[in-house]
Amino acid sequence: MKPFQSIIQAHISRYPLIQIEDLYKLAHQSALGSEHAVMDIQSARDWLSHELENMVPISTDPLFDEISPDGQIMRVHLKPYVERGGDPEILLQAFVSTANEYKGSLEKFKRYWMRIEQLAESGEINFQPDKLRNFNFKMDSLGFPAIHHSPQYEKAYNPHYRVVAREHVHQIIAELM
């Protein structure tokens, strides 16, 4: 198991323009997986096709990015996936299966967010604790919804990935070999 703190610090290091919204999204996906993202498989397929058609072809992202301390939830970055000849349909199936099967925990999300606030309070990450608390209060009042990346993060890093459970990653690896 990897401490959530090291996941946060790695993302801040890799993405120095990360904002509070992006930390929230990372914690949300880490704790809850992709359960928010799949209304129906055709919408998910259309969304993936649109992203593949409109993404910048150059990437420094890793293929896989563990985002949960237990290693069970990962981001599969589209750019390196496609560069390696990955089949979008296989990734789509892994994503949809994760959304339908993985049962995350709001309590886990709250623990992760508390850890982010502690890191800010101790000065280990450069975020204002009161702004983190205010953002958390706002998200709590909305029922802790899934959100988009911040405009700053979108512009700087052009993120394109799918959140999948580790149990589905073997399908992705097998088809890339």
How confident is the model over 38-94, as pLDDT tens digits? 668 888 899 899 999 988 766 688 999 999 999 999 999 999 999 899 999 999 999
- pLDDT(159) > 60: yes
Query: What tokens were used for 25?
Result: 């999204």
- Interval 6-22 mean pLDDT: 97
The per-residue pLDDT for range 116-137, each reduced to its tens digit, is 999 999 999 999 999 999 999 9
Q: What are phi and psi of 75, to 5 degrees?
A: -100, 135
Residue 62 is predicted with a pLDDT of 92
1, pLDDT greater than 60 = no
- pLDDT in the model for residue 176: 80
Confidence (pLDDT) at 142: 97
* Residue 40: predicted pLDDT: 82
How many Å apart are CA 124 and CA 9, to the nearest integer?
9
The yes-or-no verdict on residue 174 having pLDDT over 90 is: no
Determine what percent of the chain falls in helix, strand and coil, rounding each to the nearest 5.
60, 5, 35
Q: Find, among 133, 139, 73, the residue nearest to 105 by Cα.
A: 73
Domains of the chain: total: 1
Q: What is the pLDDT of residue 20?
A: 98
pLDDT mean across residues, the chain: 92
User: Quick one: pLDDT band at residue 2, thresholds 50, 70, 90?
Assistant: confident
Q: Quote the domain boundaries for residue 106.
A: 4-176
Res 34: pLDDT: 83
| Residue (of 127, 109, 103, 107) closest to 117 by Cα position | 127
pLDDT at 37: 60
CA atoms within 13 A on the CB side of 175: 15
**pLDDT at residue number 36:** 63
Contact 134, 41 (CB under 8 A): no
Query: What's the CA angle centered on 39, arms 110 and 103, to 5 degrees?
Result: 35
